[in-house]
Amino acid sequence: MSVPAGQSAATPKRLVVLISGRGSNLGALIEACEQDRIPAQVVGVISNRPDAAGLGFAEQHHIPHRVLNHRDYPSREAFDADLATAIEDYAPDLVILAGFMRILTPGFVDRFTGRMLNIHPSLLPKYRGLDTHARALADGEPEHGASVHFVTPELDGGPVIMQARVPVAPDDTPETLAARVQRAEHRLYPEVVRRVCSGEIQWSGRILQADGSPLEAPLQLDEDTHDVSGPDARSRPPHPVG
């Protein structure tokens, strides 16, 4: 990692990423770390599905990875216990949920309070849970988007750090809207992770702070943070949508 003259290199933060599927946000995070846009490195990837295509990103970039198949466990608690142990083996500073399709037990969440992030494809608190794009279209929403939040035991209910908004087109389908939201996610998630790793964003389970002041409302991804809104989006996403 390059360091400006007169400054010393800080130890990169250690990220463990949990996935269940194609892992496009994992790919975006890996790329951001490798390009020094985040003062961190992905040190481990864990999937609950052995066929998760996102494991290919870990293999391609020589990142340690493993599978804990949730179907091999008799209970959610048993799975979460082994998952927590596997995560701690990597000694992470942050745990990143990137399309990890598991409802986590309160004990697991409490263990990582203040250092576990999730990205959700809606403008929270709207549309928690699944099928967010179809639900937004059914309600005639003029805009949609994604939110990054700290994880709490409440499903998609943790304090929201930052959101990315995208317009809804008259001819959108759930698939086209999902693709537009996911391109925004590939910019949003690295930006939030950067701010958390740098200490700009902090939350210990009590007050969410940005630059030392309480964050009264979610930050919004804009042109200064490489927003993808606009007709040409200025550049293509770092990895195929998925």
Give me the chain's average pLDDT, please: 90
The helix (run of H) or strand (run of E) holding residue 8 is: none
What per-residue confidence (pLDDT) applies to 10? 75
Residue 105: what are its φ and ψ, rounded to 5°?
A: -75, 155
Catalytic residue among 65, 120, 149, 186: 120
3-class state of residue 46 by DSSP: strand
Predicted structure pTM score: 0.88
The helix (run of H) or strand (run of E) holding residue 33 is: helix 24-34
Which two three-digit tokens encode residue 124? 């929270």
3-class state of residue 98 by DSSP: coil
The parts of the chain modelled with pLDDT lower than 50 are 1-8, 223-242
The yes-or-no answer on residue 120 being catalytic is yes
CA–CA separation, 93 and 89 (whole Å): 12
Which two three-digit tokens encode residue 105? 């037990």
What per-residue confidence (pLDDT) applies to 9? 52
Residue 223: what are its φ and ψ, rounded to 5°?
A: -60, -30
Q: Mind listing the pLDDT tens digit for each residue in 181-209? A: 999 999 999 999 999 999 999 998 889 99
Which two three-digit tokens encode residue 163? 């959101």
Which two three-digit tokens encode residue 223? 């042109």
CA–CA separation, 236 and 233 (whole Å): 7
In the beta sheet, which residues pair with residue 119? 148
What per-residue confidence (pLDDT) applies to 15? 98
3-class state of residue 101 by DSSP: coil
The DSSP output letter for 232 is S
Q: Mind listing the pLDDT tens digit for each residue in 125-154? A: 999 999 999 999 999 999 999 999 999 999
